[in-house]
Structures are given as C-alpha cells and as structure tokens.
Amino acid sequence: MVLNTYVYTGAGTITAVGSGVDKSAFKVGDRIVALSDEWIVHKASNGMYQRYASLGLGCVTKLPNTIDFTDGVVLPLGVFTATSMMFSPSNLDLSWPVGKDKSVVVAPEGKVKTGMEKQVVVVWGGSSSVGASAIQLARAAGYNVVSTASERNFGLVRECGANEVFDHKDDGVVDNVCKWVEGRELTLAGIADAISSDDTVNRCSAIAQRLEGNKFVSTSRATGVQPAPIVPERVKASTGEFCVCRKSDFECLLTMRSSFGYQGARVAGVHLREMDVSCTRKWTIKV
C-alpha cells in the first residue's frame, strides 16, 4: 500500500493482496485507510512511516473517492480512540452500536444492553475528530448525547447526532449541561472527554459529581506522555493506557469492525459517507 501517514494511521492505494484475502472484498488499486497493528504483531513491515506497509485484513477499510487521502488518514485514529474510550471494558464499557437490521449484527455476549434511551453520554469536544466519532457511535448505540463545542461548530455537532450542544467557552457550561440532563431525567452513562486537558477534565468531573449514574470520565491522555488525570473523590477516570494501544482495546475495535461491517459494505455497518473540512475534519458514521 502506498501511504499518506499520520502516527499509526495511513491512507493510500493497495498495491498487492495476499493469497488468503477474498478478492471481492479488496483488490489492487482500491483506495483505503488503515490502522497499523505494528505494536501488536511487532513487525516493522506493518509500520506506517514508510512508503509501503503490510497490513492485516481487519486493519483496513475502503475510502470513498470523494475523500482525499490527506483527509481520510484522520479517520482511523479518531474512531479507534473514541471506540476505546467508550466501549472498552476498562473505560465506559457502553453498549455496542447495532444496525437497523439487527439480524446482521454479531456482538459478543453481553455487549448489547438495554435501557440506553434513558441514559446520556456527555461528549466534551464534539467537533474534534475523536468527539465527532464518539457522538455518532454513542447515538448508534442508542444513547442520548449532549456535547460541547465552539458556537461556530454547533451545526456540525448536531449533524453528527448530538441531542444538544453547549458552548464550551461559556462560564456556565457545566451548569447548562447538567440542567439539560436533569430536566429530562436521564441517567449518566459516562463522559467522553475528547480534549482531556486539565481544564476539561475538571469540568467533566464537575458534571460527573452532580449527575446520577456512572461517574466516569474517559480521557484520551497517553500514558508516558501525559500525566494521569486527577479527579475528585467518587469520580473515576481512565488513565489513557489505551493510547499506547493495549491488545485488548485493539481487539475490541477489530471485533467491532467485524461485527458491524466496518469495511463499509453494509447499510447496517459503520462506514464513511462524507467529509467536510471547512471548519474541522469530520465524517459521518452511518448505521
């Protein structure tokens, strides 16, 4: 695959296909985006900082012709981070998304739950690549979503599926989020902090302290690069270990891809529909 790279992600064109790959799924010349599994298989050939990379079938998905490689390369890491933050058992452990035709969805036992319509996921930073992914995945899983963003990005965040969005620059944003949730008598399923600065962790912790439910702030902090978040008593937070890519989290993503047709072949699967980079890199995940 010829690559445009960004950290552990790549976008490019398939130059060769292994003998065990179904040629109806992928063929030479296909445009794809990919998430490297180099840290799992420990093979330099699978790394992204080179002209060609060798990748497992579960690590790639087709890229629509309407999206160029420079934009598409943002997708895998954003989706992977959001997936890990929300669905990994060590983080929010939310119910998995399901397609409209539930008969084609194959999820591990216990991963599809009930009662999501009475719960809410708070996504801080909804117009970021991670936040936009988190909103769409949470909505696909059946949760209500309230998010924050700059006012100029409200339309984008609502398009991604947020039920409501508040200006993160507003001094009363924590109170606004809490009043919205309390007014609808929703239970907190957890908070995904896509920004994960000290300030946003503090604000998300304040929301968790006030609302009833799962008082867990899932962050995107990288272990060994950023310190673990400091949160108040009664509030839990992820350490960000998934950002150094624990095997269990990588398998969580790959299983979800397999289960929900993440290679973009099914209406019931998660796939790219469009991307508009006028104000931020974004895509729409459709189920």
Lowest-confidence segment of 49-63, 93-107, 126-140, 166-180 by average pLDDT: 93-107
What integer is the mean pLDDT of 5-24? Answer: 79
Burial of 152 (0-12, 13-18, 19+ CB in 10 A): exposed
* pLDDT of 149 over the 50 cut: yes
pLDDT at position 257? 43
pLDDT, greater one: 162 or 129? 162
Q: Which of 178, 167, 94, 76 is nearest to 137 (CA)?
A: 94
Residue-wise pLDDT for 65-86, tens only, equals 877 888 778 778 788 888 888 8
pLDDT at position 259? 38
Lowest-confidence segment of 110-124, 127-141, 229-243, 271-285 by average pLDDT: 271-285
pLDDT at position 100? 55
- Residue ranges and CATH numbers for the domains of the chain are 2-73 (no CATH), 78-250 (3.40.50.720)
- 202 band by pLDDT with thresholds 50, 70 and 90: very high
Name the percent of the chain in helix, strand, coil, to the closest 5. Answer: 35, 20, 50
This prediction has a pTM of 0.79
What integer is the mean pLDDT of 157-164? Answer: 92
Q: How many helices and strands in the chain, by DSSP H and E? A: 8, 10
